[in-house]
Chains A and B, each alone.
Chain A
Amino acid sequence: MLKSILYKEWIKIRLVVWIALGLGLLALINIFLKVRHDIMFVDAANYWYSFLFRGFTYFSILKFLPFVIGLAVAIAQYFPETVNKRIKLTFHLPVSENGILIKMHAFGAVMLLAIFVVILGLFTAGSAIFFPSNIIRASLLTMLPWFLAGMATYFMVALILLEPMWIFRGLYAAAAAGFVTIFFTGASIGAFRPVLLPLTLITLVLSCVVLFSGYRFRKGEM
């Protein structure tokens, strides 16, 4: 049964997953080709200097990529369910309604996480060629909020899409926009360090809010 559930979710999002990985890879190739080029032109010491003391982030191209990927996965997964209220079919399956929603959602979240882990892993590996651990750590610390934003976007967009009433979709979208903006608060390298844990916890508990829309749908909010 779980296999069937995951099979359907995979059919919906597989294209987006491959595109996301492709985009991530392209972005990383772009980053490291540029780093290599710039280091040849301005000398490695100066390049490090611009990161350490000028706040230059060589990875800023990645800033909105996790957000876009989170948005795309959520849409790919939940938009087909909302067309013609197709989610009714899902809720009619001989399994617990919340249970199947949780499984669908967990699958999407895990796939998203996997994409992010691949991107961050390759980023770390690539950075290790050019930079010491200090710079890599500071870079990851700076990028982490962006990737958390991707997860939060996924959770909130799922909530918005499954909500049956348009007016509430709008209200949820307003709240979601306000929340996701937090992750993009303009800040210097590493400035998010104290808030990473609370933000991670909030994002984690937001993973279950899709149940709220699912419940509203099942109780006939139309």
Chain B
Amino acid sequence: MIKFSRYILVATAILVASIVLPTLFWTIFEKVPRSPNIFYSTITEDFVIVDGSKKKNPEGKEYTSEEYEKILPFMFFRQLMADGTMPDSINGVLMEAPSISRASSFYRYTPKRLDSPVPTLWPMFESQSGKVNLTMPEDYFRIEKRMEFIVARTNEVNEEKSSLFTAALAEEGFSFPAGIIAGIPTTRKSCDEGYFITDSAGALFHVKMIKGQPYVVRIDTPEELDIVYIEAVDIRSKEYYCYVFTRNKGVFVVMDEVYDLQRLPVDGFNPSIHTFRLTADLFNKCITVMGSNWYEAIALDDMYNVVATHGEEWEDLYDRPDGKMFASLFPFETQMRDDNSSFVRFYFKPSPGVRWLIVNLLALIVTVVLIIRRGWPLRSNIPDLIITAVTGVYGLIATQFFPNKFSKVKPPVKN
């Protein structure tokens, strides 16, 4: 029991060391990783890559600031109009500020969205109140065994409204409880489109409230989609309601009013680890899927046809000098937070390769020397040696913080 208590302490110390030491290391040595932004230019019909302060085309030709603004007229139209350099028309379309801004949108997805605590109560707005401004409802809904509205002021369920909506959902074949609930729970939006909700069977529904009455649409999906994340958007073009991310069947948008699912041409996109970006303008959409050391940019025309693609890859963390140094010092690290999640977990990250073996060996030698100097027999310290050999610096620190005093000491050498 007492020996056991020591190993608990050693294990705890290893855990703490594997969190603290790498944090210290990265704070001192970490270099800023590359994270380029990619746009598609209707003017050059090619990508523009913004990497730090550099702007260039895929061939590496650099643009000056003026050139850069000129080839992305939709992004900088205010500046170009002020300068008087905005073309009157592009591709035969007259350039007007309202239409440009209506067509422009930007959306960014990070894996964090997928792996985050989600609220289980949502406000259901009145979509057609007849007023210009949306108002905050006095109740919040949850969808568990049924759909329930809870009035905040009294903290009680509004039975009438709950039954009304539950019945409406059931009528469309909704199987309770809900899976994903996605909406824009704020009054600061152009209009309300309610919520996109998956049921326990994975089917997709659109639910909103019109003049106090439930409005439920079951959205037909082309095949069995394993939907993992939905994000409702409020884009001014009203082209689509929301983005639908599936486990491995790609990314879709649900088209406004007609509820068609439009597949976006991003193959190999993994919502758990990849970032997704979409910029839209009057003529094109530019999608960038990004991993830790690569990106794939896809340009689409207004009919969602691919017009251009471009990809790049660069040194991954552990190929960089700072990452290499880390992987030579530490066999692994533990983090409580991760870039791809909002949840706190023990994120265990083994260092690639075996370069850390040298440091582990050094730690082992130090441990052996310390044991011999204290006159302890090596035999009864084998577990400590194994721990140090496997966990390296962490094990060395942990076994010295909580020394093994269970072994009988040899008498010191007499002078």
Give A residues with C-beta under 8 Å from B: 43-49, 52-53, 98, 128-132, 134-135, 138, 159, 168, 171-172, 174-175, 178-179, 182, 185, 187-195, 198, 202, 205-206, 208-212, 214-216, 219, 221
Contact = CB atoms under 8 A, between A and B. Distances in A.
A208 B4 contact: yes
Contact of A193 (B12, B123, B343): B343
Given A130-B155, A188-B116, A205-B8, A49 B343 contact: no
Contacts of A216: 405
Contacts of B336: 182, 185, 195
Instruction: Give the interface size class of chain B.
Output: 35 or more
Interface string B329-356: 0000000110000111110000000000
B304 interface: no
B139 interface: yes
Instruction: Give the residue among B1, B117, B401 with the most A Cβ atoms within 10 A.
Output: B117
Contact of B20 (A53, A178, A210, A211): A178
A194 B344 contact: yes
Given A175-B9, A191-B343, A219-B405, A49 B123 contact: yes
B119 interface: yes
B12 A179 contact: yes
28 contacts: A44-B138, A44-B152, A45-B137, A45-B139, A47-B152, A48-B140, A49-B185, A53-B119, A98-B1, A131-B155, A132-B140, A132-B150, A135-B121, A159-B9, A172-B9, A175-B12, A175-B398, A191-B117, A191-B344, A194-B344, A195-B336, A198-B346, A202-B12, A208-B1, A210-B5, A212-B402, A215-B2, A219-B405
A175 B16 contact: yes
B153 A212 contact: no
A45 B344 contact: no
B131 to A, nearest CB: 17
Interface in B340-381: 342-346
A43 to B, nearest CB: 7
The 9 A-B residue pairs with the shortest CB-CB distance, nearest first, are A178-B16, A190-B117, A44-B152, A45-B152, A52-B119, A212-B5, A134-B120, A171-B401, A215-B2
Nearest to B154: A44
Given A53-B119, A98-B1, A188 B342 contact: yes
Instruction: Give the residue among A47, A135, A175, A192 with the most B Cβ atoms within 10 A.
Output: A175
